[in-house]
Copies of this chain bind each other. A is one copy, B any other.
Amino acid sequence: MLSLKHVAINSFNENIVYLHRDCDIYKVEDIKNVTKIEVHGGAEPVGAFLEVVDDESIVSPNQLGVNNQAFEQLNLPEGANVTVSLATVPSSVASIKRKISGNVLYDSEYKAIIKDITAKKYSNMDVASFLVATGSFMTVQEVLALTEALAGDECYNWDNENIVVDHHCMGGVPGNKTDIIVAAIVAAYGLPVMKTASRSLTSCAGVADTFGVLANVDIDEKIIRKSIRENRGAIVNHYNLPITYASKVISSVQRNLGMVKQEHVLASIIAIKLITGVSHLLVDIPVGPNSNIKTTNDALKIRKMIEYIGDMLNIQVDAVITDGSEPIGNGVGSVLEARDVMRVLRNKENAPQDLKEKSLFLAGRLIEFDPKVRGGQGYHIAKEILASGRALEALNRIIYTQGKAPQAQLGRLTRDITADKHGVVESINNSRINRIGILAGAQQTPGSGLDLFKKVGDKVERGDVLYRIHSVNANDFAFANSAVDGDNGYEISSKK
């Protein structure tokens, strides 16, 4: 028997076990492979990757060290007696093999795979296999099956509401934080907005990051319900909703692999909407050569898939294809984006017009989910609500209920990127701007990012500032600087 020891290492979503090289119970010196074992002693065996330690201060030869994740899952006290065996491959891996061979999987197979992921039987490597295997093709029925599997059996019940709305953007456009403005306008109108959002996956800032600058987004169901009851809206980081564990793991592995497949994203998103009891969903599909979705044909395919899944799951879906050819607003990065959002809500003169107009358009579409609204009137209603200041009041109430966030500082390390010739901004490369913002530290520190002073179509003189880099950490600042010198993401044409 080995004695359990908690080693305070957080490996995010992977269980790790540490054995000393001289472990006398379980001989490890010869293991020269990726080795997954099972730890026995708790209510159920817990799978974990084996790592071998040569330092008795971490584990001694009669101990079994476990990282935070495995310790939590084992749910045993330190010093408990445990044994280990080689792990077996989860049975649902047989379905991944079937998929690799080109089969269409049954609904029950998606259920079994997601059940194994939720039970933490899949390593990140296994999740990667699943994503790659289903990455070659999925029928719409398969996407539906994955959606239902991810949603599971529990979902929020909104007995007193006929309509619960949400809005989701397929992403890929830096600065595109319409979500918060839209939520504020629609909540002010009175339709309940159950806005689930994520932290950044591949962008500089997710909606949860940007709203996280203003309010606490890691709230539980009780606060969500209170805010929706009292303010007609809540904007929540779905990451901490316990029922979305499998979606979380999938997103995390996708991001790491650098392979984000729209079918997986869709299933994951709609599952979260299903879990949170959304009845009416607006989906924004931006199309642009450097956006996530590059052609109108791709966007149409996604729209049809969303519509099909919505119909099958009894969610009213309105999917709109929008212009994703350049960044929206001026700020890229949480603090700068939150500033833009507040400028729009405060009806400031320097509010970015593209962000304002797109938000009004989307809010109008959501308001038209209300049977009382005459077709085509949504936009005007939204505009009136924004202009009157009622949207700002609604957002302030939501912030108050969710809890105001401590002030986040804009990064003080700055550099102005200037035009190297006279001309007109011909294009701004979304993915390049995104990359520079990430290097500047946007994903780790909310105060880092880019402030865009010029947009497509603007005239520039040589030496005009195109954008300003903000970094919090010197380390990140240096990486952003060296990246920007290669390609700053702007194309200036000399034509009049």
A interface, CB within 8 angstroms of B: 7-14, 18, 21, 25-28, 30-36, 49, 51-55, 57-58, 67, 83-86, 89, 93, 96-97, 100-102, 123-126, 128-129, 131-133, 135-136, 199, 201, 239, 251-253, 255-259, 438-439, 443-445, 472-473, 475-476, 478-479
Contacts and interface: CB of A to CB of B under 8 A. Distances in A.
Oligomeric state, in copies: 2
Given A9-B51, A26-B444, A126-B257, 5 more contacts: A8-B55, A14-B34, A86-B438, A89-B257, A129-B259
A201 B84 CA distance: 20
A58 B9 contact: yes
A55 B86 contact: no
Contacts of A102: 136
A8 B132 contact: no
B8 A256 contact: no
Contact of A12 (B8, B13, B34, B83): B34
A210 to B, nearest CB: 14
A136 B100 contact: yes
B12 A33 contact: yes
B9 A199 contact: no
Contacts of A8: 53-55, 58
A21 B417 CA distance: 34
Contacts of A259: 93, 96-97, 100, 129
A258 B93 contact: yes
Given A128-B129, A136-B102, A256 B57 contact: no
Contacts of A13: 34
Given A9-B52, A58-B9, A136-B136, A444 B31 contact: yes
A10 B85 contact: no
Contacts of A129: 128-129, 131-132, 257, 259
Contact of A256 (B36, B239, B252, B473): B36
A6 to B, nearest CB: 10
Most-contacted residue by chain B among A36, A126, A259, A472 (CB, 10 A) = A259
